[in-house]
Amino acid sequence: MKKKIIIFGGSGFIGKNLAQRLINKDFLVTVVSRNKSIKFNLKNKNLEYLNCDITNINNIKKKIKKSYDFIINLSGNINHKKKKETFETHFKGCKNLIQFFKKKNISLFLQIGSSLEYGNLPSPQNENFKCKPVSYYGKAKLKSTNYLMELSKHSNFPFLILRLYQVYGPNQKFDRLIPQVIKSCLDNRKFKCTDGSQIRDFLYVEDLVNLIEKILLTKKKINHRILNVGCGSPIAVKKVIENINKIIKKGIPQYGKIQMRKDESSKLYPSIKKVKNLYKWKPKFSLIKGLKKTILFYKKNKNFLY
């Protein structure tokens, strides 16, 4: 019997890549979006769409009628500056989903967390650190993490939390570093950036999808864990920009024209030893290979950049 998966926030960047992989692997996939006009040009007999506001528990009860094996929570608002909306979509929404599925017979609830839960703690960051988030987004994500971890003390509810670092690749919108730089270079214009001295971890989205697929297919049940997920090879932002510039052979980056935020970490990258050991997983895509595939996607799909 085919396994059934529901992806909340499945019409976003990561969700699109994940849904495509899973339907190709013969899973039955339901993609859920709060936006009624889902821009997801993918049709498949194994795929269906639902519109649902997870911040409203009654809306969840009304819309979610089928049973599912796996629940993946990628939901959340993009504009993290809106404090109330950020809290509601990233914590209240997560809490509602947990309460709804807690009494269902599910195999796994996969919560997508964030590196921003750690705040400005030193790198490499590991899962045993006591988190000190700075942003509203980081605080809301940590509340979801803490809610699940507290639940594990008196419940067998099966969950895993993946704390993601910088994920990039096809389908990512213009509001992130790599798509912004690619657009500027493709347009062959001068563009302002910081001095690029920040050290970050960039994971190609297909590597993340590979990991999630492994998690869903593994016969060994691994629950109640927090796992950092990144490429494990930190790099200066300037080097990323230079690589994009070199591949496209156009564009003029103007380093130092933008000041780093006062609360911005100079180094932000994870230890990924735990996830590598538990799932025998490691990233396959080098930065250059991932950037080339991403650039090719945007060349063919320029509507993502404009």
Instruction: State pLDDT tens for residues 45-72.
Output: 889 999 999 999 999 999 999 999 999 9
The pLDDT value recorded for residue 190 is 97
Task: Locate CATH 3.40.50.720 in the chain.
Answer: 4-166+203-229
The pLDDT value recorded for residue 42 is 67
What CA–CA distance (Å, rounded) separates 135 from 117? 9
CATH T-level fold of 169-201+233-269+284-305: UDP-galactose 4-epimerase; domain 1 (3.90.25)
The pLDDT value recorded for residue 59 is 96
Confidence of residue 39 (pLDDT cuts 50, 70, 90): low
The pLDDT value recorded for residue 302 is 76
pLDDT at 30 exceeding the cut of 60: yes
Instruction: State pLDDT tens for residues 221-258.
Output: 889 999 999 999 999 999 999 999 999 999 999 999 99
* Region 188-217 average pLDDT: 97
The pLDDT value recorded for residue 306 is 62
What CA–CA distance (Å, rounded) separates 150 from 289? 40
Place of tokens 């790099």: 235
The pLDDT value recorded for residue 63 is 95
CATH superfamily of 4-166+203-229: NAD(P)-binding Rossmann-like Domain (3.40.50.720)
Place of tokens 């796992």: 227
Q: Three-state SS across the chain?
A: CCCEEEEECCCCHHHHHHHHHHHHCCCEEEEEECCCCCCCCCCCCCEEEEECCCCCHHHHHHHCCCCCCEEEECCCCCCCCCHHHHHHHHHHHHHHHHHHHCCCCCCEEEEEEEHHHCECCCCCECCCCCCECCCHHHHHHHHHHHHHHHHCCCCCCCEEEEEECEEECCCCCCCCHHHHHHHHHHCCCEEECCCCCCEECEEEHHHHHHHHHHHHHCCCCCCCEEEEECCCCCEEHHHHHHHHHHHHCCCEEECCCCCCCCCCCCEECECCHHHHHHHCCCCCCCHHHHHHHHHHHHHHCHHHHC
Burial of 292 (0-12, 13-18, 19+ CB in 10 A): middle
What are the residues facing 226 on neighbouring strands?
161
Confidence of residue 211 (pLDDT cuts 50, 70, 90): very high
pLDDT at 80 exceeding the cut of 80: no
Instruction: State pLDDT tens for residues 104-133.
Output: 999 999 999 999 999 999 999 999 999 999
Task: Locate CATH 3.90.25.10 in the chain.
Answer: 169-201+233-269+284-305
Global pTM reads: 0.94
The pLDDT value recorded for residue 1 is 79
Closest C-alpha among 29, 64, 25, 32 to residue 43? 29
pLDDT at 37 exceeding the cut of 60: no
The pLDDT value recorded for residue 78 is 67
Q: Bigger pLDDT: 24 or 242?
A: 242
